[in-house]
Amino acid sequence: MHPFHFLADAREIVDGRELADRARRAEAIGYHGLVIPDHLIEQLAPVPAMAVIAAATERLRVAAFVFNNDLRHPAVLAQDLASIDVLSGGRLDVAIGAGWNKPEYDAIGLAFDRTPVRQARLVEAITVLKGAFGPGPFSFQGEHYAITDLDGHPKPVQLPHPPFLIGGGGRRTLELAAREAQIVGLAPRILASGRSDPQSLTVAGTAEKIEWVRAVAGDRFASLELNVYPSGIPMSVTDHARSEAKDAAAYLAGRTAIDLTPDDVLESPHVFVGSLAELEAKFIRLREQLGISSFMVGEMGPLDAVVERLAGT
């Protein structure tokens, strides 16, 4: 089994000194990485925030969670990310997805293409990123990107490239992750309404996604790290988990053909609700049953004690 890795979220707008203090605190507690979302909302932009985090720490890994591919040209992103890998001494993870939040696209007049188009663009972007990270000039002619004799610089410290985290809830994206990523992010499927599909939150739904990954990854499956994060229901450290699960099941009712029970909610790999002891036991169970060892838990604080006990074990 892979060791436990916990990621914390640092989206709040703070000055550089405060962000550096939080990064050092995360490192001291035992977090594996401090990550920044990539949304056009009230938060710090990921690239400069990642640079501050890297400069303030010695072991903590840095990443977005996750970059929206449609917001940046991959050759430009490659230079930004390789620079952070150099500046951090090789502590970068490249976390990237196809983009999903349509209101952000609408707000800046960016076309929100159909899912297959966004996914195809992500496939090409990963090729461009890896090409720019490579040892010499490369060319690429795709439907969405055209690269001619580009020798990306700087070159990353981690060779042949930093680890990629590719995540999603649909089969096509997860099969891409199985081929190209070192860390596979298991996310709920997004319905046409923009909400998470409740059935995709369940243990059975997650197990199905893992089998999609396993079938495509083949021999490399054992080396892949599986990641989940809280979705649909806010994380809650509480002694009243069943009551909150009943409320959550009622909130989700009617969104799919089969409604979830409170037990479905509590067992979900994407629901972090319970006492510290219950959540610690859940992380251990998810690793034993599904092989999930990487958890993005949100902001530091509520689960620090669990992270201190489990991180790296």
Residue 191 clears pLDDT 90, i.e. is over it: no
pLDDT score at 250: 83
pLDDT above 70 covers what percent of the chain? 96
DSSP state of 186: E
Helix (H) or strand (E) segment spanning residue 212: helix 203-217
Using DSSP's 3-state secondary structure scheme, residue 112 falls into coil
Quote the mean pLDDT of the chain: 94
> For the chain, how far is it from start to end, CA to CA, in angstroms?
10
Residue-level pLDDT at 289: 97
Q: pTM for the whole thing?
A: 0.94
Q: pLDDT (tens digit, 9 = 90+) per residue, 192-249?
A: 555 667 788 899 999 999 999 999 999 999 999 999 999 878 899 999 999 999 988 8
DSSP E strand boundaries for the chain: 5-9, 33-36, 61-64, 67-68, 94-97, 138-141, 146-150, 164-168, 183-186, 225-228, 236-237, 273-274, 292-296
Domains of the chain: 5-310 (3.20.20.30)
Q: What proportion of the chain, given as a percentage, has pLDDT over 90?
A: 85
What CA–CA distance (Å, rounded) separates 121 from 197? Answer: 24
Q: State yes or no: pLDDT of 256 exceeds 60.
A: no
Judged against a pLDDT cut of 70, whether residue 104 lies above it is answered with yes
Q: What angle do CA 127, 190, 246 make, to 5 degrees?
A: 140
**Is the Cβ–Cβ distance between 177 and 167 less than 8 Å?**
yes
